[in-house]
Amino acid sequence: MSLSNEHKTIVQTTFGQVTDANLLARRFYERLFEIDSSTKPLFKGDMSAQRVKLMQTIAVVVNSLNDLSSIVPAIQSLGKRHATYGVTPEHWNSVGSALLWALEDAFGEAFTREVRDAWAAAYGLIAQTAIAAASVEEVNPQ
């Protein structure tokens, strides 16, 4: 999965056009729990705080797309922490689908095929990096 400069620009431009991040996050979680109810019990905390955390982290990632290597360690840590919450690779797929759905819901016809492909490529890259980090066993030579 690769991310072209065009993909990066499209993702950054569309994310900048989100007018109500809280609503986007709310619709995202509604959709996630609808399409994959096994994700719901993993969330133990306050969902309004969770919506803010999700959107803030997405903003950091989107703003760093031009310098991906600078955020790889943070994505790897995020992936490892998520494995401890019980998040599986299958859950990462569900989250990707719910995210694309919520974006399409927010943008309507402006969410063209090209925009969708750009978001799918960006999410795919982040998810792959997170999942790979979570599946690596730590080596502890004695």
Q: How far is CA 94 from CA 29, 69, 99, 123, 137, in A?
A: 11, 26, 9, 12, 24
Q: Which of 109, 127, 93 is nearest to 14 (CA)?
A: 109
Binding window for ligand HEM (CB under 6 A); candidates: 11-19, 85-93, 100-108, 133-141: 85-93
Please, is 74 exposed, middle or buried when counting C-beta atoms within 10 Å of its C-beta (0-12, 13-18, 19+)? middle
Using the structure block, give the residue that is written with the tokens 């994505």.
75
Between 111 and 128, name the residue whose CB sits nearer to ligand HEM: 128
Sites for ligand HEM among residues 41-60 (CB under 6 A): 42-45, 50, 53-54, 57-58
Count of residues that interact with ligand HEM, criterion CB under 6 A: 19
Binding window for ligand HEM (CB under 6 A); candidates: 65-73, 77-85, 110-118, 132-140: 77-85
Between 34 and 81, name the residue whose CB sits nearer to ligand HEM: 81
Between 67 and 109, name the residue whose CB sits nearer to ligand HEM: 67
- Enumerate helices (H) and strands (E) in the chain, giving the number of each: 6, 0
Please report, as ranges, the residues that interact with ligand HEM according to CB under 6 A. Answer: 39, 42-45, 50, 53-54, 57-58, 78, 81-82, 85, 87, 91-92, 95, 126
